[in-house]
Structures are given as structure tokens and as C-alpha cells.
Amino acid sequence: MNGLRVVPTWRHGQERLYVCLPDGGNVAWYDRETARVNLLRDDREGEVLEALGPFLTGPVTVGPPPVPTPAELARLTLHPDDDLAPNRPGEALLIALEREPGPAHRLRPDPRRRALTAEQAAGGALDRLDGAGWRTLHSVPLPGGDRIHHLVIGPGGLFAVHALPARRQRVHVTDPLVTLGRREPLPLLRRVRADADRASYALTAEVHAVLVLVDPADVTVREPPRSVRVLTDGELPGLARLGGMLKPADVEALHAMARDRATWTRV
């Protein structure tokens, strides 16, 4: 034994194995996803590989940590309270329900829970686009108490996504009105467009508006709404087929900008 110990940790949803000295100082870390051992001390390479031996499952690259990109540097300088990336789908609703859960027994279900289920369904579908080079932020706060349910950035551009619970209901869309079942129609498309416009202003880039109907029984769109895509949650994976708008470096730079809470304070 060389005195080094291996400590597993999780960062941004990915597992890293840190190799530490007896006093706790780091000399290297192993990133399983990239199969790379990042050395902070070149003179300890042999000892590091010996300590990591039981954890290595194939060939690895060994070398100093890669130089961070500008987007990575911007992310690293964010205070945790200002970083929106850890937000869960429906984050604002989850917090509201924790603070004020409402009566234990109600004649009708709490509408916040239906809205939460819709945001979680849409958010889960969007998060699965990550492997195709897309990045998603959830519950992006806007001044005045408004928020963008999901902001999606990827090769096909930027999208402000609003999730609407429509479980087993017929939906009629006649710009700017959206009607669920027998309810009164609401001018929801105006809000969806406004959210996208505010995001465009904050990011100085074109952001497209998307209304996602979650689990509807039927959807009727009399004519395509102005500047708004109307999709079901089952159609969200189709966004991954869009491309040709942003390069990977542009996606990361915009994501780094969007995840900073300060970006949204003046829109």
C-alpha cells in the first residue's frame, strides 16, 4: 500500500473517484464517463494508478486536468445560490407544496399537483435529450413572480417550454386561446410568447416559444399559432432531430449564461 486512498463523490450527476493523501489532499481524480485519470502530481502517477487499480475497468487516459473552457470557468465562479442548473422539474411548485401543502382532505385535487406532474413529465423528456447535445434548465425565475417552466438549449436553437396538464381532456387551440375540455378558454399563448420574448432579451439570442400539452385525449389546432409550437409530451423527443443552428461551444456558452440567476433579474 502506498498510503493513498480512493474517495468516491458525485459532481453534477457524475461519479468521480478522488485519490487522496493521508492528510486529505487530492493528488488525482478518475472520471469514469471520460475514462480519464486527471493528475495533479506527476510524480505520483504510479501510486495513483496502483490505488485506482481495483476501480479501472478498461484503458484510461492519464494526464493533467484539461484546461477549462470559458463556459466551464463561468460555471465554476457561480455561487451555489445563483446557479439554476440544479433546479428540478417543477422546482418552484415543489417548494410551494413543501411550505404550504394544503388541507389533507379536499373535494378536488390541488391544481398545483396536476401542474407539478405535467412539469415533471415534460422535464423528464427534455432531460433525456442531454445525450444528443441539449441542455435544459427548469423553473427559471423571472421578475414579478413569473417563471419559464423549461429552457432548452441545443443544436436546434433555444426554446422556452410551458407545460400544461391536459390529462385525458380534449384540447382546442385557437390563437391566442387554449381550451381544456369544458373549461373557459384562456389566452395562454400570449403568456407563452411573452416568456420566450423575455428569454430572448435576457440571452440576446432568439428563443422560440413551445406549449407542451401533457397527456391530452385529443388536440385540435385550427391553424398554426403565431410564433408558438404546440406539441404533446410524446413529441418532445423530436426536438433532438433539429440541428444546424448552434455549435456545441455555443450551446455550452449560452447554458453557462442562462444558469446564472443574475441573467434574469432585468427582464
C-alpha cell at 80: 451555489
**CA-closest candidate to residue 236, choices 127, 143, 141, 133:** 127
**pLDDT tens profile 29-64:** 898 888 899 888 888 899 999 999 999 888 999 988
Mean of pLDDT over the chain: 89
| β-bridge pairing 218-221 and 207-214 | unpaired
Query: For residues 173 and 1, what is the distance between their CA atoms, to the nearest angstrom?
Result: 69
State residue 128 phi and psi, 5-degree precision: -70, -5
- Is 194 within 8 Å of 145 (Cβ atoms)? no
CB atoms within 10 A of CB 137: 21
* Residue range 56-98, pLDDT digits in tens: 888 999 988 776 666 666 666 778 889 999 999 999 999 999 8
Please check whether residue 133 is in contact with residue 155, taking contact to mean a CB–CB distance below 8 angstroms: yes
Residue 122 grid cell = 415534460
Q: How many residues does the chain have?
A: 267
Do residues 182 and 199 touch, judged by C-beta distance below 8 A?
no
Each domain of the chain, given as residue ranges in start order, spans 5-63, 70-264
Bridge partners for 129 per DSSP? none
DSSP reduced 3-state for 45:
helix
